[in-house]
C-alpha cells in the first residue's frame, strides 16, 4: 500500500507541474505509466487522471482568490470579478460543447502515442514561431482588459486542446498571444479557464463512471485523494513560478521541450511496436 501511495503522489506531482505549464500532461502521463503504473481498473484509471485535476483547480482558486471572488465587499471588485467570470465562461463554451459531443470518440480513437507525439511537436514549433511574431507587438497587459471578443477567440483555441498532447494551457496561451494578450495575461487567463473546464470534465467523467455501475473501492479513493492533494501543493508552486517566469522570459524554452518530449513519446511507441 505504501508503494501505491508513493506512486499516486508522483502522479500528483506530474499533474501539478504539467497541467499549468504548456507541455501536455497527457504526454507525460503516457511516459509515466510505462515506468510506474498504478494497479487500477481501466475505468478507474480514466476517472483518476481527470479527478486529480481537482487539486490543481483548487490551487488557482486560492492564489487568485481576491481577483476571482465575486462577492467582495467593494463594489468595484465585485463588478470586476463578475465581468471576468463572464469572459471565462464565454471562453469555456466552445470546448465544453465540442467535448460533450466528441468525448467518447476522442477517448476511443485519439488517445494514441503517435497522435500525442505529433501534437507535442507541432505545438512546440508553434511556440517558437509565435515568440518571433509576438515581438514588438502591442499587447493587452491586464486580465481585466480582455474583451469578450478576445475571450471567445481564446475559447475557440481551447477547442484544439481536445486533441491529446496539445495541452489545454498550451492551446489557450498560444491563442491568447496570437490575439494580442501579453505572456502574463495569456497565462493567467489560461489558469482561470482551467477552473470550469476541468470541473466540467471531472463531472462528465464521474457521471459516466457511476452511470455504468462502477464504484470506487476505499483503496482507489485513498489513492485519488493523495494524488489530488499532491497536485494541489505542487500547483501552488508551479503557478507562481510560471507567473513570475513569463514576466522575464519567453515560451521558446517550452517549445523546445515539447519537441524533445514528442520525439521521446514517438520513439517509445516505435520500440514497443
pLDDT of residue 107: 80
Which phi and psi (to 5°) does residue 89 adopt?
Answer: -65, -40
Residue whose C-alpha cell is 507525439? 117
Question: How is residue 250 written as a grid cell?
Answer: 519567453
Tell me the CA distances in angstroms from 178 to 97, 101, 128, 263, one per residue in order. 23, 27, 13, 26
Q: How many CB atoms lie within 10 A of CB 131?
A: 17
> Assign residue 207 a region: left if phi > 0, alpha if psi is -120 to 50, beta otherwise?
alpha
Q: Delimit the domains of the chain by residue range.
A: 2-272
Burial class (CB in 10 A: 0-12, 13-18, 19+), 10: middle
Q: Going residue by residue through the chain (273 aa), what tens digit of pLDDT does each one get?
A: 788 999 999 999 999 999 899 988 877 877 888 888 888 888 898 888 888 888 899 999 999 999 999 998 899 999 999 999 999 999 999 998 998 888 888 888 888 888 999 999 999 999 999 887 766 666 788 998 999 999 999 999 999 988 888 888 999 999 999 999 998 999 999 999 999 988 888 888 889 899 988 899 999 999 999 999 999 999 999 999 999 998 888 899 999 999 999 998 888 888 876
C-alpha cell at 267: 520513439
pLDDT score at 136: 63
Residue 26: predicted pLDDT: 77
C-alpha cell at 134: 509576438
Amino acid at each position: 500500500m505504501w508503494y501505491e501511495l508513493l506512486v499516486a503522489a508522483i502522479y500528483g506531482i506530474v499533474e501539478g507541474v504539467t497541467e499549468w505549464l504548456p507541455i501536455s500532461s497527457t504526454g507525460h502521463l503516457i511516459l509515466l505509466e510505462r515506468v510506474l503504473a498504478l494497479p487500477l481498473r481501466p475505468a478507474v484509471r480514466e476517472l483518476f487522471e481527470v479527478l486529480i485535476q481537482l487539486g490543481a483547480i483548487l490551487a488557482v482558486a486560492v492564489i487568485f482568490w481576491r481577483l476571482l471572488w465575486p462577492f467582495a465587499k467593494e463594489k468595484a471588485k465585485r463588478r470586476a470579478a463578475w465581468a471576468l467570470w463572464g469572459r471565462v465562461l464565454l471562453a469555456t463554451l466552445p470546448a465544453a460543447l465540442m467535448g460533450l459531443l466528441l468525448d467518447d470518440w476522442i477517448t476511443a480513437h485519439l488517445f494514441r502515442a503517435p497522435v500525442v507525439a505529433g501534437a507535442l511537436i507541432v505545438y512546440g514549433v508553434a511556440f517558437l514561431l509565435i515568440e518571433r511574431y509576438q515581438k514588438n507587438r502591442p499587447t493587452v497587459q491586464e486580465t481585466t482588459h480582455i474583451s469578450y471578443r478576445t475571450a471567445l477567440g481564446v475559447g475557440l483555441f481551447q477547442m484544439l486542446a481536445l486533441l491529446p498532447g496539445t495541452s489545454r494551457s498550451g492551446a489557450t496561451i498560444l491563442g491568447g498571444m496570437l490575439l494580442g494578450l501579453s505572456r502574463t495575461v495569456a497565462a493567467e487567463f489560461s489558469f482561470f479557464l482551467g477552473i470550469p473546464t476541468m470541473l466540467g470534465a471531472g463531472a462528465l467523467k464521474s457521471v459516466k463512471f457511476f452511470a455504468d455501475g462502477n464504484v470506487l473501492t476505499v483503496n482507489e479513493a485513498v489513492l485519488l485523494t493523495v494524488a489530488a492533494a499532491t497536485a494541489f501543493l505542487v500547483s501552488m508552486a508551479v503557478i507562481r513560478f510560471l507567473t513570475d517566469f513569463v514576466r522575464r522570459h519567453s515560451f521558446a524554452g517550452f517549445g523546445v521541450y515539447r519537441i524533445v518530449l514528442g520525439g521521446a513519446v514517438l520513439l517509445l511507441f516505435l520500440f514497443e511496436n
